Amino acid sequence: MQFAPVYPYLYRLLKSRFPSSLWCGSPAVPYVALTFDDGPHPEYTPQLLDVLDRYGVRASFFWLGVNVARFPAIAREVHLRGHWLALHGYEHRAFPRLTPTELHDSLERTRDAISSACDLDPALLRDVRPPNGIFTPKTLKLLNQWHYRPVMWSVVPEDWVEPGVERVCQRVLTQIHWGAIVVLHDGYFGGQSVAQTAACLIPQLRDREYDFVTIDRFWNDVPPPSLLN
């Protein structure tokens, strides 16, 4: 069963109940953040990078540490092309199912893998998206306690179930709004068509006069979490 039609309603409900997370950018600015989860992948990520380069778009990548460790050269290439890097946990495990120690270890191992592959200061790697967007108030409290920044979403076309490029694009274009955070995937699930999806979406969003930014720009345009609680 696909839940894509439900996500816009779920987004509005969760956004109001958990304001310390980043759900979108400013609704007063015609911009959008394309974000990609579950990578890097040795085939799908380079294909996606070529499309992003073709259109001059910078995106945000939420990585699994295990994949960064497997494919450090791909990770480094993403960084060298100017994209924003963030965490998705070491493996694709729901954060609420981990003990605090396991969660902390998962994030630190992911941060260390990215830091090593990309020669980055680990302190710069602060943005975290829970796998499947599943979290609890306790999860968010721990992330804030450890000085991570929880990043969620506002447009989820459910590309990981592979409904087809046309349907994914139609879902995004129907739900898109100023300040949207769009979630796509360049990992083993959903990544097969991610390059084609990006090539479909970017020119159509440009036709609607959207600018493309990375997640750090959105943080600059909203109050910090400590002021939202």
Rg (CA), the chain: 16
Structural tokens at position 213: 């930014």
Q: What is the pLDDT of residue 1?
A: 42
Structural tokens at position 158: 């459910």
Q: What is the pLDDT of residue 190?
A: 87
18 membership: H or E segment, kind and range: none
Q: Which of 37, 38, 127, 159 is catalytic?
A: 37
pLDDT one-digit tens code per residue, 160-179: 999 999 999 999 999 999 99
Give the phi and the psi of residue 84 in degrees, each rounded to 5: -90, 135
Residue 208 burial by CB count (10 A; 0-12/13-18/19+): exposed, middle or buried?
Answer: exposed
Q: What is the pLDDT of residue 201?
A: 98
Structural tokens at position 100: 């605090």
Catalytic residue flag (residue 185): yes
pTM of the model: 0.92
Q: What is the pLDDT of residue 226?
A: 45
Q: What is the pLDDT of residue 144?
A: 93
Nearest alpha carbon to residue 116 among 148, 164, 68, 150 = 68
Low-confidence stretches of the chain (pLDDT beneath 70): 1-17, 223-229
Q: Which of 127, 185, 211, 216 is catalytic?
A: 185
Q: What is the pLDDT of residue 64?
A: 98
pLDDT one-digit tens code per residue, 5-32: 666 656 566 666 677 899 999 999 999 9
Q: What is the pLDDT of residue 8?
A: 63
